[in-house]
Amino acid sequence: MEKLWAPWRIEYIARGDLDNDECFLCEKQKDTEHDDDNYVLYRGKFCYVLLNIYPYNNGHLMIAPYRHIGEFEKLIGDEFLEMMKLTKIATSAIEESMGAQGFNIGFNLGRVAGAGRADHIHLHIVPRWNGDTNFMPIIGETKVLSEALRGTYERLRPYFQNE
């Protein structure tokens, strides 16, 4: 098996049971002085948009409500509506700036459904391109990301400036 060094992943792996730590989504939404460092693209009235620092693909975003809730049913109407509005902006921004050809959009509700942070609901937007799943992840068990997070952040940030 080939080895691809990704030392930034150890921070995520070493965290273990994330639900017992301080919620990273709450930490980032409170830290309004460091949006660039935290890859926060936009702050709305009820929700905010940030890059996933452990992305499945380049441009992988998350939209989270400010409220620390884990259940989909507990989203209030304004939170849900703002999430959908921000999803529309995000997909348009990624299509225009990165040429995405499709998207996986959704919630991982609960630990068994793959939620890395089950107690603070968040919507994932994962851009897709024809051929983005090729021999590397299938045979080589390796995922290649072609752009650094900083570059993706700088590419997408202007699309959220006028909202």
Domain-located, residue 20: no
Q: Do the domain assignments include residue 63?
A: yes
Is 26 part of a structural domain of the chain? no
Instruction: Please give the tally of structural domains in the chain.
Output: 1
In this prediction, residue 144 has a pLDDT band, given cuts at 50, 70 and 90, of: low
How many C-beta atoms lie closer than 10 Å to residue 11's C-beta? 10
Residue 163 one-letter amino acid: E
Average pLDDT value for the chain: 83
Indicate which residues carry an active-site annotation: 122
* CATH number of the domain residue 142 falls in: 3.30.428.10
In a domain, 70, yes or no: yes
Tell whether 66 is covered by a domain: yes
- Pick the more confident residue, 157 or 135: 157
d(CA 101, CA 163): 24
Whether 45 is covered by a domain: the verdict is: yes
Q: Is 2 within a domain?
A: no
Nearest to residue 107, comparing CAs of 97, 122, 93, 86? 122
**CB 48, CB 32: distance < 8 Å:** no
pLDDT in tens, 84-115: 999 999 999 999 999 999 999 999 888 877 77
Could you tell me how far CA 17 lies from the centroid of its own chain?
Answer: 19
Number of H helices, E strands in the chain: 6, 5
83 or 140: which leads in pLDDT: 83
CB-based contact 121:23 (threshold 8 Å): no
Contact present, 125 and 62 (Cβ < 8 Å): yes
Other C-beta atoms within 10 Å of 162: how many? 6
What would the pLDDT profile of 8-36 be if each residue is shown by its tens digit?
555 655 555 444 568 999 999 999 999 99
Host domain of residue 41: 33-160
pTM of the model: 0.80
C-alpha separations of 78 from 45, 46, 61, 83 in Å: 9, 7, 20, 8
In this prediction, residue 143 carries a pLDDT of: 53
| pLDDT value at residue 12 | 53
Establish if 41 belongs to a structural domain. Answer: yes
pLDDT of 4 above 80: no
